[in-house]
Amino acid sequence: MTADTAIRPATPAHNATGTDRAAPGTFATCALSGDLQAAGVARHFTRTTLQGWDMGDLVDNVELIVSEMLSNAIRHGLTGARDLPGTPNLVGLGLLRRGGTVLCAVSDPSSDIPVVREADAFAESGRGLHLIDSLSASWGWTPPNRAGKAVWATVSAACG
């Protein structure tokens, strides 16, 4: 299965007023391969889903957060896991809408937790978690287990 076939476009739910705004608690997921196309697929999925939920004002920040989390999952979460038998070379992306807040999460098969490091002004990388921290209301990760972990962040209309 390719990342493109794993995408299930989020369709807005009808609420009590009969409008096409997404109902609170709407959830969408996307399985992504750990290759170079994953970031573009994740950004498209995020943009399409949030626009379908009438949350276009959050798209830029959530897309950036998802891109950073996905980059970390591919760079650090798939390292070593690629060689383990029975371990799929996949990461997962989930978006959950609760009222005016979106929770985004990226899962990977690694049990290594994210480590915030002091950013080097001259380094080309190492600022992703700082960026996630500055653009989100909160962020963290699930306790790692044999299946891996998920890194998550919440973004509210008030934060966007």
d(CA 138, CA 103): 9
User: pLDDT tens for residues 13-63?
Assistant: 333 333 344 455 689 999 998 887 898 999 999 999 999 999 999 999 999
| CATH fold of the domain at 25-115+125-156 | Heat Shock Protein 90 (3.30.565)
- Can you tell me whether residue 81 is helix, strand or coil? helix
Entry pTM: 0.77
User: pLDDT tens for residues 96-132?
Assistant: 999 999 999 999 998 888 887 776 666 555 668 889 9
Q: Is the pLDDT at 152 greater than 60, yes or no?
A: yes
Judge whether 146 and 84 are in contact, CB under 8 Å. no
| Predicted pLDDT at 142 | 95
